[in-house]
Amino acid sequence: MVGGVSPFLKQPKHECLEMKAPLRAKAFREFSAGVALAVLMTLGAPTYAATPADTLVEGFAIDDLITLDPAEAFEFSAAEFIANSYNKLVNLDLQDTSKIVGELADSWTVSDDSLTYTFKLKPGLQFASGNPITAADVAYSFERVVKLDKSPGFLITQFGITGDNVAEKAKALDPLTFQLTVDKAYAPSFVLNVLTSMTASVVDKELVLQHVKPVTPSDEFKYDNDFGNEWLKSAYAGSGPFKLIVWKANEALVLERNDNATIHQAALKRIIYRHMKESAGQRLALENGDIDIARNLEPGDVDAIAAKEGYTVTSAPKGTLYLLGLNQKNQYLAKPQVRQAIKYLIDYDAIASTLIKGIGQVHQTFLPSGQLGALEDKPFSLNVDKAKALLAEAGLPDGFAVTLDVRNTQPVSGIAESLQQTFAQAGIKLELIVGDGKQVLTKCRARQHDMCFSNWGSDYFDPNSNAETFTVNTDNSDASKNKTLAWRNSWDPGELNGVTHAALQEKDTAKRTAMYQDLERKVLDTGPYAFIYQQIEVAGYSSKVKNFRLGPSFDTNYVFPISKD
């Protein structure tokens, strides 16, 4: 700002204008005061936003969604979506999830050698597009899963079905008969359980074929089209009670009633899953009527909603387990006494009554409650003296230093902080390395951790899923193809490998249960896992919402029975 005469200085046109100024100013002041008053008055009148009567709005963290294609999706949110919008050959009985009932299949037979499964479809069923549901659609659905070979592909390929033989192994005998051939005499309950997972959903072949993208075959992908994978990522080709309207990633998932659905019918017209990450935000929105159901509440907010007039809370244990993985590559953690000591340095009771209250229950074995073979033993509790004795036995009376990789979400990071304090009582200096979900996953999958706060949800509702990952490690080298959790923690289970494989084929349920329980006891004693808790899914909702129930897994969280007053 250099001094001098401003070039913008102008002479007033007429001196008379000066006199009008005070009057003009006064008028302006009065006008603006009036506007301000009007604004304040209207702001002061609270308007409550209620969700429309035919629409259900759920506040739900859906940021784990990456695709809606049943042949590719494997995330919890996707499981819920697919369960409510697609149909499968068979499904778990809604009332009793230990039984399997037919969904698209009217009946089925298993051959004597347990290798061939023949399903008879119900006649007259339609997709949302109007196309009839035939065995050809079922065969195509299996073909897609096997040939695309995405993350959940192993569920079907584990039966010896490959891209080359799928046409023969999963084929339509006639428009209403579908046949599946597996390579070994598995327990039929196991095979059928796998077929209840979302990957076995049936897609509309005609509709998908209209949207396939041509692809140049290469060494990795031998086929000339993508089987509609790119289109189905954010589109819909199913027959379930709801159809997709739109998926806006990290914002919302909007479903509308499918009027062509016959197997299950939806009561409400529209379902909106609104992405909201925080419990406090969901609670506020629930209290204000902006959402009907809040799905990610934390303990304090659960209590507040439960205590509030006009609101209810429901919960259901889920099959997801939270545990510390102790990498055996770490010289301290490789000592068996150290592993056991750590299991005694977790304040299970305090954690249960504060950090996971209502959203988790203490669980210490590798099969979650509700699954066949689950063991409810809880031999460990906070016992600093015993831990110290064990450490002394291991030659580490003064403790040692170790790191823990943990996600920056609750409640796990709160639990990790609590662990820091209890470990310190025995001389173990625990350093927390907090990262976001994918960071932690990257590190732990690459065996670069000391301790990793992991979680594991069963891929299907059968004990083999968890047993495989916790007790099987056939190749402990860095180049192994089979990267189970046991591998990730560099643990060689030895003879347990064989026991798990045998249990898979055991047809007698009682014997099978005993085998798994035995495995669990052995893992309690020697396994490099400190199981902490099993997830309880909890939801708070307005009492206007009826028939809302949470199932034992995300693909049994059905929304079609829900209605509103």
Interactions with another protein, residue window 299-358 (CB under 8 A) = 300-301, 304, 347, 349-351, 353-355
9 binds another protein (CB under 8 A): yes
Among 16, 48, 112, 477, interactor with another protein by CB under 8 A:
48
Among 67, 193, 196, 320, interactor with another protein by CB under 8 A:
67
Question: Least distance from C-beta 310 to another protein, angstroms?
Answer: 16
Looking at residues 269 to 288 of the shown chain, list those that interact with another protein (rule: CB under 8 A): 272, 274, 276-281, 283-285, 287-288
Where does this chain touch another protein (CB under 8 A) — which range of 51-59, 119-127, 364-372, 493-501?
A: 51-59
Tokens found for residue 177: 């008969």
Structural contact between residues 526 and 514, judged by C-beta atoms closer than 8 angstroms: no
Where does this chain touch another protein (CB under 8 A) — which range of 16-24, 195-203, 260-268, 328-336?
A: 16-24
Tokens found for residue 428: 């173990």
Looking at residues 415 to 444 of the shown chain, list those that interact with another protein (rule: CB under 8 A): 416-418, 420-421, 424, 432-439, 441-443
**Cα separation, 106 vs 116, whole angstroms:** 17
250 binds another protein (CB under 8 A): yes
Structural contact between residues 396 and 368, judged by C-beta atoms closer than 8 angstroms: no
Question: Least distance from C-beta 445 to another protein, angstroms?
Answer: 7
Could you tell me where the DSSP H helices lie in 120-232? 135-148, 154-157, 166-169, 188-194, 205-209, 229-232
1 binds another protein (CB under 8 A): yes
Comparing CB distances to another protein, the nearer of 80 and 347 is 347
Burial bucket for residue 389 (CB in 10 Å: 0-12, 13-18, 19+): middle
Structural contact between residues 116 and 108, judged by C-beta atoms closer than 8 angstroms: no
Q: Which helix (H) or strand (E) holds 404?
A: strand 401-407
Where does this chain touch another protein (CB under 8 A) — which range of 112-120, 134-142, 408-416, 515-523?
A: 408-416
Looking at residues 181 to 240 of the shown chain, list those that interact with another protein (rule: CB under 8 A): 220, 230, 233-234
Q: Binding residues for another protein, how many (CB under 8 A)?
A: 102
Buried b (16+ CB within 10 A) or exposed e, 72-93: bbbbbbbbbbbbbbbbbbbbbe
Structural contact between residues 201 and 70, judged by C-beta atoms closer than 8 angstroms: yes
Looking at residues 108 to 167 of the shown chain, list those that interact with another protein (rule: CB under 8 A): 149-154
Comparing CB distances to another protein, the nearer of 131 and 234 is 234
519 binds another protein (CB under 8 A): no
Looking at residues 79 to 108 of the shown chain, list those that interact with another protein (rule: CB under 8 A): none
- Which residue in 126, 110, 123 sits closest to 202, CA to CA? 126
Please name the residues in contact with 209: beta carbons below 8 A apart, sequence gap of 6 or more: 228
Question: Least distance from C-beta 418 to another protein, angstroms?
Answer: 5
Structural contact between residues 152 and 71, judged by C-beta atoms closer than 8 angstroms: yes
DSSP readout, 4-53? S--TT----S-TTHHHHHHHHHHHHHHHHHHHHHHHHHHHHS-------T
Q: Is the dihedral of CA 203, 206, 207, 213 positive or negative?
A: positive
**Cα separation, 70 vs 99, whole angstroms:** 23
Question: Least distance from C-beta 51 to another protein, angstroms?
Answer: 6
Phi, psi of 244 (to 5 degrees): -80, 135
3-class secondary structure, 556? helix
Among 60, 70, 74, 426, interactor with another protein by CB under 8 A:
74
3-class secondary structure, 288? coil
Question: Least distance from C-beta 66 to another protein, angstroms?
Answer: 5
75 binds another protein (CB under 8 A): yes
Looking at residues 362 to 381 of the shown chain, list those that interact with another protein (rule: CB under 8 A): none
Q: What is the largest CA-CA distance in the chain?
A: 111
Among 188, 358, 370, 414, interactor with another protein by CB under 8 A:
414
Comparing CB distances to another protein, the nearer of 47 and 95 is 47
Question: Least distance from C-beta 436 to another protein, angstroms?
Answer: 5
- Contact string (CB under 8 A) for another protein, positions 449-488, x = contact: ----------x---------------------x-x-----
Comparing CB distances to another protein, the nearer of 353 and 509 is 353
Question: Least distance from C-beta 293 to another protein, angstroms?
Answer: 12
Q: Which amino acid is at 51?
A: T
Comparing CB distances to another protein, the nearer of 314 and 408 is 408
Question: Least distance from C-beta 93 to another protein, angstroms?
Answer: 26
